[in-house]
């Protein structure tokens, strides 16, 4: 199947999951993760209508960032979704509009410093380690409230939501509780006054439908887009 056709299939599955979630009219941003592919496949996604693209490493993103610039694909939002080293922040915030992986305080300080130099504000999702796996990055759920209070001292960071990674499991259904808990955490924080905390960046190829049913506003899909 062509990438274009596959995107159609995925969009249909997204619409059905939205319907099941009872929020048909709430948009879900489909982020096409291009870390596995080159510029040509990324262009197929663009032609299929995608305008949000995700990468987890600057070096891997480069050829696609360069190609999109050459092709004047200027109406694209690039999302940085991977672990971000502090020494890469300066370059990353020049090329990416949203950072999904704010996972530690010293990263926030570095983003603040570099964003202030550029005179920009960087929308960020706070990465939360809901599953508690020691191999996963992110803040523990009880830490997020204090973090948000501290972030209010960093004017060039705009917290827009929460992000999580579900563990690899045999049956996607096992991830439902993780997505639900991220939504509950967001709702609690909103109720405490952080009403700009809107986004739930959760759901990947293996589990995006469950994530949508549980309230995802942004899904990050890689593999499934390129399946023949």
Ligand X SMILES: *Cc1c(COP(=O)(O)O)cnc(C)c1O
The footprint of ligand X (CB under 6 A) covers 33, 35, 56, 81-82, 165, 204-206, 220-224
Question: Which residue number, 108 or 204, has a Cβ lying nearer to ligand X?
Answer: 204
**Pairing verdict, β 199-201 and 52-55:** unpaired
Quote the tokens at residue 213: 């049913």
Q: Give me the least distance between CB of 53 and ligand X, in Å please.
A: 12
Residues 6+ apart with CB under 8 A from 204: 165, 166, 211, 219, 220, 221, 222
Question: Which residue number, 99 or 147, has a Cβ lying nearer to ligand X?
Answer: 99
Strand ranges (DSSP E) for 74-120? 77-80, 98-102
Sign of the alpha-carbon torsion through 57, 145, 31, 211:
positive
Cα 38 from chain centroid (whole Å) = 20
Q: Give me the least distance between CB of 109 and ligand X, in Å please.
A: 22
For residue 151, which of 181, 119, 126 has the smallest C-alpha distance? 126
Instruction: Name the residue number minimizing CB distance to ligand X.
Output: 222
Question: Which residue number, 186 or 220, has a Cβ lying nearer to ligand X?
Answer: 220
Q: Give me the least distance between CB of 69 and ligand X, in Å please.
A: 23
Question: Which residue number, 66 or 227, has a Cβ lying nearer to ligand X?
Answer: 227
Q: Give me the least distance between CB of 4 and ligand X, in Å please.
A: 18
Question: Which residue number, 57 or 90, has a Cβ lying nearer to ligand X?
Answer: 57
Q: Give me the least distance between CB of 167 and ligand X, in Å please.
A: 12
Question: Which residue number, 100 or 114, has a Cβ lying nearer to ligand X?
Answer: 100
CB 182 within 8 A of CB 175: no
CB 33 within 8 A of CB 54: yes
Q: Give me the least distance between CB of 7 and ligand X, in Å please.
A: 13
């Amino acid at each position: 199947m062509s990438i274009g056709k596959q995107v159609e299939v995925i969009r249909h599955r997204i619409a059905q999951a939205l319907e099941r979630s009872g929020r048909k009219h709430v948009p879900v941003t489909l982020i096409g993760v291009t870390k596995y592919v080159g510029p040509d496949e990324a262009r197929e996604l663009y032609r299929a209508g995608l305008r949000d693209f995700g990468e987890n490493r600057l070096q891997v993103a480069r050829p696609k960032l360069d190609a999109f610039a050459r092709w004047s694909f200027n109406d694209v939002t690039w999302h940085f979704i991977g672990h971000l080293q502090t020494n890469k922040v300066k370059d990353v915030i020049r090329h990416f509009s949203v950072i999904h992986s704010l996972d530690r305080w010293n990263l926030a300080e570095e983003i603040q410093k570099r964003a202030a130099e550029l005179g920009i504000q960087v929308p960020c999702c706070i990465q939360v380690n809901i599953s508690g796996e020691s191999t996963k990055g992110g803040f523990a759920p009880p830490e997020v409230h204090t973090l948000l209070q501290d972030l209010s001292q960093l004017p060039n960071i705009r917290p827009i939501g929460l992000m999580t990674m579900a563990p690899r499991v045999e049956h996607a259904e096992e991830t439902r509780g993780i997505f639900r808990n991220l939504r509950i955490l967001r709702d609690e924080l909103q109720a405490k006054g952080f009403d700009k905390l809107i986004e739930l960046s959760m759901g990947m190829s293996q589990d995006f439908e469950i994530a949508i049913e549980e309230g995802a506003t942004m899904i990050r899909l890689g593999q499934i887009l390129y399946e023949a």
